[in-house]
């Protein structure tokens, strides 16, 4: 073998995917796969794109005498091009599939389904921090999830992928799409895959050294935002806290505006989850903010908007439904009417319990039958012991007051046997001038969701029921939302007790409800050690960054229905008594649980499920949208 000693320059033109797709992939192959004979790089009947994917394991930076940063950069360019090619390819694959199957998921075994959450949760779940920084899904998980989509989800995935491709090719037409479906139809599941698809497809279009962002994900409440690793809409768009019917809109100015414009420069997609809770007023403010960020007067600043949600679920707490334009805005363009519509109708959460699916579908539209009411009454008669005993399973209440009362009651009951420890977070300034100091109380945000999801104080006896607020180990099931019981509190220096009130323990040992959780980290008693974690968040009044160290838990003997919108549970004791106050609340509460057997009702007021449990305007709007859709 002759080794070439003289360096040679490999010449290839600069192509982009849009300018010349074949040239683009061919130049990547030539630059990153060693060859003796260029004619043998590709097989006779293959395209440069399929050759690029076929030989993906051979691709590497063919650079010598370069810095390690340049080498790493070249490696990343290859990985991004590969991720993009895989994404575009899988979208084409779903397009070509036989779409005549009825439901589309009957051939898939449960053990073949890899939950989209699983991968995403591998990354430290620093709420409101930069999700883009957390890397991408592995190809295996991404492809398996897409292949596991049911037929409706696949069609939707394909529809958006087509819009992505068009957008990449500079098409002016933007996608404004409202995706709906009953609780458990897999909206959030698809959302995560779409976000991944967007990131993959756009990543090679801008130099990665600029750390560009292409998509933002938002939701109204912190918990819903957490479910999809997004941010709250209030933080994303600096929305004012709604008071009364005020629609006053304050434009951003100066450095803040410049900062936002830089942030949004490459963003061409906004995805909003649980849109039923977003008011029309908020939607309008988002539209105006985006015009400011993008510095134009196009609808939503001329970017693609995908809304996910079910208007038969919970309405906005303040303001009008997202589909009701307030009279004082009537002269403006109706933003809601600009959206096209897509509906998912296959229930993926309760798919193994058809009787329950029917009950939920009827409850959703206020058509519960007598036999379905009888099924609920049976769940009311279930004894609240054993698997449904106090403390063993989470209680769901309609109001915050009921939740607080129940949590306090349980802590008080628990305190008869176990000492109640007050545990406080350690907060330190991360600003240069005050570094390491404890920030004044009045600059610490009141809402825990603006503090990285970490509480400032918790009263914790052992045997408390808690919920994890961070992902510790995804593959082991230790994810945000996992619930269990605190069995031991471990204090620093192997001390048996807390040294002074407020002291933060080394860790707590938690026994999780789901026995499969924490298998790899469990001790001999089946408990998993949960140590304090760190979150950095912004102080109020312009204080700057604050770092908080705290146990990543909240007490969760009970939670409100509103907190749970968007989540999935195995078991729950639900209160559907007189305090049910919102339309859709009974439906949202019941639909969190996978099976009817997993539900016990601590109270049931038949009127709340029989007499208009849904909002008539929401139903009328669904019918209008379906009508438009069939006419399309
Ligand atoms: N194609 C799929 N394959 C496997 N599991 C799926 C699929 N689609 C959805 N799921 C699972 O079904 C459950 C419900 O899905 P998801 O939470 O996305 O529904 P949703 O429509 O967002 O519900 P909600 O309106 O209540 O928020 C989740 O556990 C999710 O992981």
How many helices, marked H, and strands, marked E, lie in the chain?
18, 20
Ordered alpha helix ranges (H), 169-279: 187-202, 222-227, 233-237, 254-263
Quick one: average pLDDT of 394-401? 92
Indicate which atom in ligand 1 lies nearest the CA of residue 191.
18
Which carries the bigger pLDDT value, residue 210 or residue 107?
Answer: 210
- Looking at mean pLDDT, say which of 69-78, 201-210, 503-512 comes out highest: 503-512
What percent of the chain shows pLDDT beyond 90?
Answer: 45
Cα 322 to Cα 98: distance, rounded to the nearest angstrom: 36
Cα(569) to centroid(ligand 1), Å? 11
Under a CB-based contact definition with an 8 Å cutoff, are residues 154 and 97 in contact?
yes
Which carries the bigger pLDDT value, residue 215 or residue 54?
Answer: 215
Q: pLDDT class for 474, splitting at 50, 70, 90? A: low
Cα 147 to Cα 219: distance, rounded to the nearest angstrom: 27
Contacts of residue 568, defined as CB under 8 A and 6 or more positions apart, other chains included, come to: 184, 349, 592, 594
- Which residue has the least CA distance to atom 14 on ligand 1? 184
Q: Is 392 exposed, middle or buried (0-12, 13-18, 19+ CB in 10 A)?
A: middle
Give the mean pLDDT of the chain.
84
Quick one: average pLDDT of 453-463? 92
Cα(139) to centroid(ligand 1), Å? 21
Q: pLDDT class for 453, splitting at 50, 70, 90? A: confident
Indicate which atom in ligand 1 lies nearest the CA of residue 224.
27
Cα(190) to centroid(ligand 1), Å? 8
Q: pLDDT class for 577, splitting at 50, 70, 90? A: very high
Residue 427: pLDDT over 60: yes
List, in sequence order, every beta strand (DSSP E) within 411-469. 421-424, 426-429, 457-460, 465-468
- Which pLDDT belongs to residue 2? 64
- Cα dihedral 416→418→420→426 (10° resolution): -170
- Which residue has the least CA distance to atom 23 on ligand 1? 184
Cα(417) to centroid(ligand 1), Å? 40
Q: pLDDT class for 300, splitting at 50, 70, 90? A: very high
Cα(189) to centroid(ligand 1), Å? 5
Q: pLDDT class for 625, splitting at 50, 70, 90? A: very high
Two tokens at 149? 């989509």
Indicate which atom in ligand 1 lies nearest the CA of residue 348.
12
Predicted ipTM > 0.85: yes
Q: What SS3 class is residue 561?
A: helix
Cα(628) to centroid(ligand 1), Å? 26
Cα(188) to centroid(ligand 1), Å? 6
- Which pLDDT belongs to residue 552? 94
Under a CB-based contact definition with an 8 Å cutoff, are residues 530 and 541 in contact?
no
Query: Which residues does ligand 1 sit against, CB inside 6 Å?
Result: 113, 115, 148-150, 153, 181, 183-189, 310, 348-349, 566, 568, 591
- Which residue has the least CA distance to atom 8 on ligand 1? 186
Decide: pTM greater than 0.80: no
- Which pLDDT belongs to residue 222? 66
Cα 194 to Cα 594: distance, rounded to the nearest angstrom: 24
Under a CB-based contact definition with an 8 Å cutoff, are residues 613 and 363 in contact?
yes
- Which pLDDT belongs to residue 9? 62
Residue 264: pLDDT over 50: yes
- Which pLDDT belongs to residue 53? 84
- Which pLDDT belongs to residue 326? 92
Residue 106: pLDDT over 60: no
Residue 105: pLDDT over 50: no
Two tokens at 70? 């340049």
Cα 35 to Cα 40: distance, rounded to the nearest angstrom: 8
Q: Is 259 exposed, middle or buried (0-12, 13-18, 19+ CB in 10 A)?
A: exposed
Which carries the bigger pLDDT value, residue 60 or residue 24?
Answer: 24
Two tokens at 493? 């220096």
Angle at 74 between CA 71 and CA 77, to 5 degrees: 155
Lowest mean pLDDT among 52-61, 303-312, 430-439: 52-61
Measure Cα distances from 172 to 61, 164, 268, 290, 304 in Å: 36, 12, 12, 17, 10
Q: pLDDT class for 609, splitting at 50, 70, 90? A: very high
Q: pLDDT class for 99, splitting at 50, 70, 90? A: very low
SS (H, E, C) 483-499: EEEEEEEECHHHCCCCC
Residue 25: pLDDT over 80: yes
């Amino acid at each position: 073998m002759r080794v070439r000693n003289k360096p040679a320059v490999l010449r290839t033109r600069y192509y982009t995917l849009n300018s010349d797709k074949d040239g683009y992939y061919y130049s990547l192959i030539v630059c990153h796969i060693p060859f003796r004979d260029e004619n043998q790089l590709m097989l006779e009947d293959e395209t440069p794109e399929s050759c690029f994917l076929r030989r993906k394991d051979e691709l590497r930076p063919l650079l010598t005498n370069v810095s390690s940063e340049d080498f790493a950069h070249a490696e990343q360019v290859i990985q991004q091009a590969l991720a993009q090619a895989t994404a575009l390819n899988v979208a084409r694959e779903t397009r070509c599939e036989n779409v005549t199957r009825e439901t589309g998921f009957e051939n898939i075994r449960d053990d073949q389904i890899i939950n989209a959450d699983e991968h995403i949760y591998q990354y430290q779940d620093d709420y409101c921090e930069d999700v883009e920084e957390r890397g991408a899904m592995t190809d295996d998980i991404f492809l398996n999830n897409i292949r596991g989509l049911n037929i409706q989800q696949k069609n939707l995935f394909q529809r958006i992928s087509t819009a992505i491709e068009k957008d990449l090719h500079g098409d002016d037409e933007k996608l404004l799409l409202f995706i709906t479906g009953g609780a458990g139809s897999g909206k959030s599941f698809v959302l995560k895959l779409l976000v991944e698809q967007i990131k993959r497809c756009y990543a090679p279009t801008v130099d990665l050294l600029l750390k560009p962002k292409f998509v933002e994900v938002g939701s109204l409440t912190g918990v819903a935002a957490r479910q999809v690793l997004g941010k709250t809409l209030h933080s994303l768009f600096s929305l004012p806290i709604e008071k009364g019917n005020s629609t006053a809109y304050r434009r951003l100015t100066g450095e803040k505006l410049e900062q936002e414009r830089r942030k949004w420069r490459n963003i061409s997609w906004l995805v909003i989850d649980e849109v039923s809770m977003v008011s029309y007023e908020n939607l309008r403010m988002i539209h105006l903010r985006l015009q400011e960020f993008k510095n134009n007067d196009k609808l939503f600043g001329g970017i693609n908007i995908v809304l996910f949600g079910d208007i038969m679920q919970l309405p906005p707490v303040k303001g009008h439904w997202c589909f009701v334009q307030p009279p004082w805005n009537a002269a403006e363009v109706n933003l809601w009417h600009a959206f096209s519509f897509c509906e998912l109708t296959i229930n993926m959460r309760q798919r193994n319990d058809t009787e329950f699916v029917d009950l939920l579908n009827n409850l959703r539209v206020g058509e519960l039958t007598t036999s379905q009411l009888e099924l609920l009454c049976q769940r009311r008669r279930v004894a609240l012991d054993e698997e449904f005993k106090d403390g063993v399973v989470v209680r769901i209440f309609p109001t915050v007051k009921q939740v607080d009362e129940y949590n306090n009651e349980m802590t008080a009951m628990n305190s008869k046997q176990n000492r109640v420890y007050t545990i406080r977070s350690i907060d330190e300034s991360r600003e240069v001038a005050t570094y390491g100091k404890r920030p004044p109380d009045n600059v610490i945000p009141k809402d825990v969701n603006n503090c990285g999801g970490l509480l400032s104080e918790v009263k914790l006896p052992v045997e408390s029921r808690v919920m994890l607020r961070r992902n510790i180990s995804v593959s082991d099931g230790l994810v945000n939302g996992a619930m269990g019981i605190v069995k031991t509190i471990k204090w620093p220096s192997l001390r048996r007790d807390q040294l002074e009130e407020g002291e933060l323990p080394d860790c707590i040992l938690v026994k999780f409800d789901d026995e499969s959780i924490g298998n790899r980290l469990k001790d001999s008693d089946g408990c998993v050690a949960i140590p304090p974690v760190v979150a950095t968040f912004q102080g109020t009044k312009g204080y700057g960054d604050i770092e908080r160290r705290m146990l990543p838990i909240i007490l969760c003997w009970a939670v409100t229905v509103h907190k749970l919108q968007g989540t999935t549970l195995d078991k729950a004791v639900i209160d559907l008594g007189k305090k049910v106050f919102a339309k859709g609340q009974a439906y949202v509460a019941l639909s969190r649980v996978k099976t009817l057997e997993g539900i016990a009702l601590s109270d049931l007021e038949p009127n709340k499920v029989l007499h208009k449990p849904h909002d008539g305007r929401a139903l009328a709007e669904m019918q209008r949208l379906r009508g438009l859709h069939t006419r399309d």
